[in-house]
Amino acid sequence: MKTLVVGVGGVTNGGKSTLSQLLHQKLHNSCIIPQDSYFKDDCFVPVDSNGFKQYDTLDALHMDKMLIEVQSWRRDPRSYLRQRGLIPKDSPADDKEVYVLIVEGFLIFNYRPLNELIDRRYFLEISYDVCKKRRSSRVYSPPDPPGYFDGYVWPMYLKNREEMKSSTSEIVYLDGLKPKDEVLDVVYGDVCQAIERLQGQS
Ligand SMILES: Nc1ncnc2c1ncn2[C@@H]1O[C@H](COP(=O)(O)OP(=O)(O)O)[C@@H](O)[C@H]1O
Ligand SMILES: NC(=O)c1ccc[n+]([C@@H]2O[C@H](COP(=O)(O)O)[C@@H](O)[C@H]2O)c1
């Protein structure tokens, strides 16, 4: 059984979930594991010296649990998909089939044990202005307090991106200001080539 792990990282509101969903719809035998599902409960997220909740660090996430989920998919992608109703129970096995996992999130490449399992890495970037505007219309739980974007989120993004760049080189940077379909076409074409290469291997 052949597998491909695709990582969709990038800035908050850069379009990671949108791209991952569109990719998933186009790829047979694929599924998504989103990092957003692994945030710790608010009471376990500490406050920094400015009074801002420190949500934009790996410490705010149950990365151990996320890794276990990815490993569970890797052990047996077919049964992982079957158990979640993503493929029919009676669908025949095909040795040439490539199973694709889309790992999506703003800090996926910063967590080494997860980063090491990713075969293709994509990173969505958008400008500060667009990011601030998109973020202001999104409601998180808890909601962003006044000044959170400028005082915490954007500085943490710049810091986390530097850390990522210093530890990971094989990243394809994507312009998240381009239309959704254009971004999708680039990634889909690239992933299809990777799938074909895997299928060509005996
Ligand atoms: N390429 C794009 N062009 C314009 N708007 C986009 C694009 N991609 C995503 N969006 C919009 O930006 C917002 C954040 O997108 P989302 O995929 O949830 O970002 P993320 O998962 O990176 O936080 C949503 O309103 C979405 O519709
Ligand atoms: N899902 C949550 O529990 C939660 C809570 C507070 C902030 N956030 C924010 O989520 C962002 C990351 O997710 P996105 O990349 O989808 O925006 C971080 O910038 C963080 O500040 C999430």
pLDDT tens by residue, the chain, 202 residues? 899 999 999 999 999 999 999 999 999 899 999 999 999 999 999 999 999 999 999 999 999 999 999 999 999 999 999 999 988 888 777 778 999 999 999 999 999 999 999 999 999 999 999 999 999 999 999 999 999 999 999 999 999 999 999 999 899 999 999 999 999 999 999 999 999 999 998 6
- Letter for the amino acid at 129? D
Q: Is 12 in the pocket of ligand 2 (CB under 6 A)?
A: yes
Residue 45 lies in a domain: yes
129 is catalytic: no
Phi, psi of 141 (to 5 degrees): -125, 105
- What's the CA gap between 148 and 146, in Å, rounded? 6
Residue 3 lies in a domain: no
Residue 195 lies in a domain: yes
Number of domains in the chain: 1
Q: Is 13 in the pocket of ligand 2 (CB under 6 A)?
A: yes
Residue 1 lies in a domain: no
User: Which residue range(s) make up the domain with 107?
Assistant: 9-200
Q: Please provide the size of the chain in residues.
A: 202
- What's the CA gap between 140 and 148, in Å, rounded? 12
d(CA 192, ligand 1 centre) in Å: 23
Q: Is 55 in the pocket of ligand 2 (CB under 6 A)?
A: yes
Identify the CATH number of the domain in which residue 82 sits. 3.40.50.300
- What's the CA gap between 57 and 68, in Å, rounded? 19
Residue 90 lies in a domain: yes
Which ligand is the nearest neighbour of the Cα of 139?
Answer: 2
Which residue puts its alpha carbon closest to atom 13 of ligand 2? 12
Strands (E), the chain: 2-10, 30-34, 98-104, 120-125, 172-175
Dihedral, CA atoms, 73, 77, 81, 87, nearest 10 degrees?
170
Instruction: Decide if 9 contacts 16 (C-beta within 8 A).
Output: yes
Residue 87 lies in a domain: yes
Give the tokens for residue 82. Answer: 């079957």
- Letter for the amino acid at 100? V
Residue 115 lies in a domain: yes
Q: Is 137 in the pocket of ligand 2 (CB under 6 A)?
A: no
Taking the CA of residue 183 as reference, the ligand 1 atom at the shortest distance is 1
Residue 65 lies in a domain: yes
